Amino acid sequence: MKPADLIEGIALADLAMTWAGVLSCLLIWKWLISSLKWLWGYLLSVGIIELTAKLYVYEWLEGSNLYLFHIYTVLEFALLAWMYTRIFSRRMSKVLKVFLLLAFFSVAAYSIAHLALNNWSPETFQTYHKLLVNGTLAGLALTFFIQSLKEPTRYLDHFHALGYANSGILLYFIGSFIIFLIMNQMVSSDLSKVMYLWIIHALLTFIFHLTCIIALWQKDSRLTKISPYG
């Protein structure tokens, strides 16, 4: 099997799994704790953008789909970062929101500028702003991990759900940070030289989305006092 075919196969499996997770979680959405509703929103945005990207790949839509990457990066950062502001204490969240707001505007400004300079249809794949997103979200996941070790009782009521979600985020964004760091140095290289990095990235993405869905279906992901699903 060619590397490109393997990547496409993983991407299609990920798309099907993501939509299955999004739709199945509609059954429990209103009982999810507030932070995990943002995680569900992230999966929904992934499903919509990946589905739109496939319409370009199979030529049901004309043109380049690279602009979707910039839209996805902004949404990914906004939804997952805001999820953490709902998890951390109020005092920490206030400081965090200021930093995240500055980071968000930096990512959004880069994306808009890159799209505008390319007439909203970029033909080059620039990933520099993805490093900021990956690094920030990996930092948030690591912060949660450290806090959960120091103060385990703070997150005890929803430990399994938040633990699954955070583990997926930590694994994916650290791995993705390293991959995109390498890609930025190889942006002008022959595609075959970076193809295996894309395979690893596709696998990391699949695992990440799977852990998100598992997190949403944990018993402690919900407000158990009012949820009929226990």
Look at residue 227 and tell me if it is in a domain. Answer: no
Residue 229 — very low, low, confident or very high, per pLDDT cuts 50/70/90?
very low
Q: Is residue 129 within 8 Å of 73, Cβ to Cβ?
A: yes
Look at residue 226 and tell me if it is in a domain. Answer: no
The model's pLDDT over 58-81, given as tens digits with 9 standing for 90+, comes to 989 988 888 888 889 889 999 999
The model's pLDDT over 84-113, given as tens digits with 9 standing for 90+, comes to 999 987 777 677 877 788 888 887 787 777
Look at residue 228 and tell me if it is in a domain. Answer: no
Look at residue 83 and tell me if it is in a domain. Answer: yes
Q: How many domains does the chain have?
A: 1
At 67 the pLDDT is 83
- Domain of residue 191, residue span: 3-221
The model's pLDDT over 195-214, given as tens digits with 9 standing for 90+, comes to 888 999 999 999 999 999 99
Collapse the DSSP code of 170 into the 3-class scheme (helix H, G, I; strand E, B; otherwise coil) and give the result.
helix
Percent of the chain clearing pLDDT 90 (strictly above): 55
Output the CA–CA distances (angstroms, integers) from residue 151 to 35, 48, 76, 144, 170, in the order listed. 18, 37, 28, 10, 19
Look at residue 129 and tell me if it is in a domain. Answer: yes
